[in-house]
Structure 1
Amino acid sequence: MSRFVRDMEVIFWEEPIEIGPKETSYLKVREAEGVANLRIVVPHLPEGMPEDAREATLKRLLDAHLSTIKGRLVSWYYTPMMLPFSRHIEADAVVFDAMDELSKFKFAPTKLLDLEQELIDKADVVFTGGSSLFEAKKDRHRSVHCFPSSVDRTHFAKARAQMFDPADQEDLSRPRLGFYGVVDERFDIELLDRVAAMRPNWSFVMVGPVVKISEDELPRRHNICYLGGKTYEQLPAYLSGWDVALMPFAMNESTQFISPTKTPEYLAGGKPVVSTPIKDVVRHYGHLQGVQIASTPEEFVAGCEKALELSRNPESGWLAEADLMLSATSWDTTQARMAGLIAEVLGEPAATRSSALLVAAE
């Protein structure tokens, strides 16, 4: 979205935050830090509102905010759950950007599948965040396009230099094997526990919030460290202090269609990767020396041993091989292709500054 602002105003509409039950609903609007022309809008709603009142209030807040927008409007949905209060909007183009198969996630709303079909029917164009998702949705719409995860190489390449270790990581012993991302039902807790038990002299660094699972479920060992959520800007510093990057995803319904952005980010940071056999990871990166694929705890440990050897020998060619592949990956290219498809829907050669992009994110 930081690239779309070059051509149009972007309004990033986030999921509501609950406030006191007797407080009045309102919108908190702020400009994105360091990105001109990108506005972040967060509804604040009283807790305990019935669903129909909640949707009516969101609709009213949305209409009031959009009344200030002039020119053409593009609605961009990351989730069908934003549709109930926004389906009435008469946008000049509607984009459904399917980043995950949300219906497979834990606690997915029962109405999600029906809303997704409604959104697909409403959309002018559908984007998918990986090959597996593309295959699942390509026959459900006339214009479906695959956009596998890209990477900001300059940002993550900072990890290749010797950066100052964050305070909560600097005292951890080596070797360090790390993961960043949401720790939820997609994360293989048992695998982490088994691998940490098999290699008690390794430090396992988990960076990210724990969501939809209880922290009591997490394995607790002296060599597993949970550092909590960090900002995007902080990630290279943590990555710089690792020897190997991990993707211990569970092989279940929730990971059937994922295409982790972490893979190219870890490689851009100069770290070899060990992953469970996620379909899109195997398909796009499994041939690289710097990416080890492992199904069992024993295989995962063996993969980590190989990755540790690679991390000590970047001159062996694995990093150059990864860089060659990453050279064809760019968010600028991805955004340009997406913008071209939207321009076709709008019937104009390119989006103009008088256009606005409403992004519904959750």
Structure 2
Amino acid sequence: MKIVRTILVTCTILAAIALSLGSLSPYVSPKDFWPLAFFGLAFPFMFVANFLVLVFWAIKKRKLAFVSLAAMLITCWNVPSFFQFHALEVPETNQAQLVNVVSFNTHYMGAYDYSGGDSGFFFNMLDTLDPDIICLQEFANLGGNYEKPMFKRFFNQYKNFATVNADALSKTFPTGYGVCIFSRYPIINKGYLELENQNANLTVFADVVIRKDTIRVVSTHLKSIVFDKEDYKTFEELQDVEESPETYKVRRIFSKLKYAFQDRAKQADKIRERLLVSPYKVILCGDFNDSPTSYAYHTIRGKMKDSFKESGFGMSRTYIGKMPSFRIDYILHDPSYQSFHYRTNTLNFSDHKMISCTIAIP
């Protein structure tokens, strides 16, 4: 029994330490110390683990319960980034300009692994949301039989919107694979905000005129992990108690995660640098490929508000692919704005949910 108790005590202490390290992850760049990023990724799971440990020791009436309790109290300020219980549905002022914003990684409209007809639902949702600004990632027509009609219908539906397309900004730079902005409002300037990763992951901006104000709208796609079929199979093996994946496969996954953390940190630093000198207030949307307890999210957000934290409800998972689900898609905005009616919608041609909200601009 003494051995069992020693193991339980050790696990309790390690869980508390892991949770505490996860809460520090947003403040340390993976370029400087990458292991901390893994603790940030695991934060919600470690919080739940500490809660279960707390309950266990409380039932046993042991003082060790205070170890888990202390760790949870110290780190609980991160919880609203994962769970929300107050969905704000109406703006606090009726004098504001209301702007409907949609952000969506379309996964090339299902070009790679389409599994059923959701095109009608997609356009019905857009009709319901009536977006004024649409920020898209992985919105490139690869010419398949399924996605071609969807692109045609989309461009026809929003033919009067002003646009920014990463691929159209430069004929010499490698493709942006569909990082786009569509705006009901006039665009007076546009361009790249950062080009740290010369491949499919980059950031564009559009300066749009809303009433008498000019607002900088940003659409970003931070570095993807680029898991392949073999990696996803390894995840399945990890979840199967009867199978154990080979060590080198697990190491390969950790290696991909490590370098993706570091690449996103470079992008985040550049985006923050550009946002600090922006001549206008900002609405920023995109696929960060990282959780709310990450350096990338914390750095880019700065003092901006997170629309999910402002008006979301419940647990918002936006990635719904084959690996553990996280909130990795965001709509951020200037702190002087107010967002409400945050929503997510699942389309089965994408491994991301479409997110939307309404932003009140005073």
What TM-score results when the alignment is normalised by the length of structure 2? 0.28
What TM-score results when the alignment is normalised by the length of structure 1? 0.28
Higher helix share: 2
